[in-house]
Structure 1
């Protein structure tokens, strides 16, 4: 805590002041959080215990599910507590920690999605060399690089943000500690940190999107060259789950910058935040399991083993 920071607690204004609407929001977010947590945890368990799910794709999927659990857990439980108790206050340190973890998990997800697109490129364009190129050691290094890139991007603007003064308003117009609404209530000069936040966001978005687009350009070109329609369908099905998740993730971020007016900016940001913090993490495990025969088979085998164990 800085000596010149006059505000020691913030007030998160949330989504609405309507009590009835708050009840509906609480029920909705509780359900989506539970589904997200159990769904992603199931994928982690399956990839750990099933010997058939030890390839690079499932190692990345395991880490992606861990990120989804971590990301939604950094946002939703605190907001559910706020709705249930009516206590909207959050300490300066807790707010800074929430902001750090949300940003780290979110940025790491982008880099991991880009890495997963490269994995799909190798699987389809270089199938004979897949196991050699995407071995366990390479996967771990790629995952480590995703985390390191995230920290390198997040830490500089966060370090500047810790020096901001909050000496007037302490009401954050959001349900989480987000950078934009916090910068709006600071009484410091925020020009430099605003430019850094934009630069870091654009850098992350462009770098990962270029990787995804290039990977799928080569993938589509390879698929179109396959001789039979059955081969093309099978090849495309191996990428379909990843394409859907990428579309949801990047689509929601693009939507933030398509605003009808400055007046609606915060409302739109809150809506997109609900999508990215609760709905997307809930949908992703279902997208991967419902469209993946190996994951469904692994889940059925685990259920059978559990039933046999309970009978004995």
Structure 2
């Protein structure tokens, strides 16, 4: 979205039908809402349609109210689920972390610089290590330790905090815990995770060291929505970078953490800018 431009975002999804683009653009034109940018996609596999429009109301709130008053009836025959998002809207985002600080630090920097139009009302961790970083940014930090025995109680408190702080999105910024199926279901479509993408798949401790021992030629990261299948939720963004025999384990770790940070930040931005549409276990992502 254009920086410093007062643009609203219209998003919609519906079954694939003739006239979907026309019903949106015609209504916007009739109510004097100027289309600045538009992306649409018809998914043959799922027979579903998605559209995202950045628009400028030529007569301010009057244009928007006129659109709202007529579009509901016009959208109904298409079974269209739609939303108008104000340029002033800043989603409230909870960040979950463990001990690694690179993704958290990157998100906080981008937030502080205004790259990510969101608010961060709290940071939650199963370790106390990153509290000084949260304190420096003036963000409440909740230490919720967890063991196999206390996991249900810990997740109950975590869910309570998410609701208390009215968070629309949860970001797992290297939160080294697997969410229970119950919590994953509650956060369906609004929790983003990041993990390394290495081939073959290296699990357990020190994956980059395992990768070095196998002589990998690519390191990367995947950001995806959380579901009850470990690291198999709908993918939002991925990043990759070539490496060679001259890169030692510490080099792979550094490159991997950099890619993880960038990939997670891009996924968060795409989500808060309403660029991501879920089509079953796949995503449609409209890049900027």
In terms of fraction of residues, the more helix-rich structure is 1
TM-score between both structures, scaled by the size of structure 2: 0.24
Q: Report which structure shows greater RCO (CA 8 Å, sep ≥6).
A: 1
